[in-house]
Amino acid sequence: MPADQLLLEHHSQNAQWRKEGENGKYEEFKEEWFTQPLNHFSPEHANTTFEQRYWVNSRHYKAGGPVIILDGGETSGEDRLPFLDTGIVDILAKATHGLGIVLEHRYYGKSIPVQNFSTDALRFLNNAQSLQDSAQFISNFQWEGVGLSGSKNGTKWIYYGGSYAGARAAHMRVLYPNIVWGSIASSAVTHAAIDYWEYNEAIRLTANQTCIRLLVSSVEYIDTLLSSHVPFVSRNLKALFGLDALDTEDFASVLSEPLGYVQMQNWDHPSGSGGSEGDPDGEGVSLWSRFCGILGEGNGVRSKWAWVRRRAATHNYAKWIKEEIVSNCADGNVTRCFGTSDASKYRSTDLQHTWRAWVWQVCNEWGYFIGAPPDPLYPRIVSKYLTLDYTSQICRQAFPDGQWARVPEWPNVTAVNVLGDYNLAEDRLAFVDGDEDPWRPATPHSWHATPRRDSIVRPFKIIHSAVHHYDENGLRDHSKEPKRIQTIHEQEVKFVKSWLEMA
């Protein structure tokens, strides 16, 4: 799978978050720096350090209040500043007279401890090192000369994270209970999986079913033609999509890109790929909704003949791919833009290739290679040619063996799952999920997990008609948020206040 597609489908979602920090909107929050060891666990690197970036919202703070810390996760911390300003951090800080913080993750944004992203340079990017960064920060943090550590003066720290950072929030509560008083794990992927075919299955089960039926029919038709073993049939099909120069696997990969639009939806229109909720002009229409609209347009889709509907939907699918995706290929060379056979295109280790950091984590500990279901009897919304071997090939292509490090044959997902997996639980640890989130199958709300009871001590919340960490955003005027978002925010304030009253 191309690295850009892997990033689109995963929870980094750089395109989703507003970049307003770059135009000065968030000047209230100054860059601050905390010195961290490059390697927390080896004396040979004891004197090698880097500066970890963070931002503070002190507008609501009163002495004795808690600290609400948001884990920046696998993107620049600047992308999280909306949550410090009007989102979940500000909401909780205001309700508790707390101090709000966004902490940038090592190897992301400006918290980069190395000169390049080579295999050897990336060896200090793993779960253990990054969790210890957070523990070190919490244990030694001072604000305006006053120590606010979670263990020295009784300040209570509430740790929040969404998606990958949501799993980290849960892990921090379990691994460091003496310094993290409570955690909110939103869309927390506590289950790591090598073959994460459930991503697309969750979309198939929860997205607009008219759209899904058309997509299933189109994919079935496309795979039938690709499997015909008649060269001109396959070539003509690819040409319809503007992708006749691609091999079959790369062609199938490009066709799966619209599924990433599901995760990009957000009730807060400026934060996502468009959405009617939170859009004051009422003009926002998500990319996913637009794609589904194109897929179903035309009289052929309403025909009583299934084959006519299928062919019409496939032609509409091709129109979307050609106009919305292939057209973005700058020089028109689709092999250069979308082909994956040339491993050299993934070998540059310059720091500008920021995608390498998350893909390194995927290849080493998290997995989440997203392709077709393993059982051919499952209805498919992606081609059967999206195999595990294909979707994982980026690991072999991007990271040749170094002198001190190498990527394992398959990600060591046990390093994640040993911390609790679907059953990870602790007092003052909340799980919040969306019922239409493609990542829900990797969370404690998964259909693979044991059902739980929701309580103040162990909140277990599901947001209806919601996708990926929908509780993280907030509007300056909270009365203008959708009712279900107001409700989850009220519930979070309620249980966090209750936690803070516990001895």
Give catalytic residues, as residue numbers.
163, 437
Of 272, 310, 315, nearest in space to 294 by CA: 315
DSSP state of 322: I
| Dist CA 165 CA 263 (whole Å) | 16
Alpha helices in 143-230 (DSSP H): 164-175, 198-206, 209-226
Of 180, 178, 179, nearest in space to 169 by CA: 180
| Dist CA 382 CA 362 (whole Å) | 21
| Dist CA 487 CA 464 (whole Å) | 11
| Dist CA 109 CA 478 (whole Å) | 29
| Dist CA 364 CA 123 (whole Å) | 10
Q: What is the DSSP string of 252-267?
A: HHHHTGGGHHHHH--S
Question: Can you tell me whether residue 131 is helix, strand or coil?
Answer: helix
Of 228, 34, 220, 49, nearest in space to 142 by CA: 34
| Dist CA 441 CA 463 (whole Å) | 15
Could you tell me which residues are beta bridge partners of residue 33?
53
In sequence order, the 6+-apart residues with CB closer than 8 A to the CB of 297 are 316
Q: Are 29 and 103 in contact (CB under 8 A)?
A: no
DSSP state of 246: S
Three-state helix/strand/coil letters over 354-381: CHHHHHHHHHHHHEEECCCCCCCCCCCC
Q: Are 323 and 257 in contact (CB under 8 A)?
A: no
Of 459, 408, 473, nearest in space to 430 by CA: 459
Q: Which two tokens stand for residue 302?
A: 């309403």
| Dist CA 370 CA 343 (whole Å) | 20
In sequence order, the 6+-apart residues with CB closer than 8 A to the CB of 125 are 106, 107, 357, 360, 361
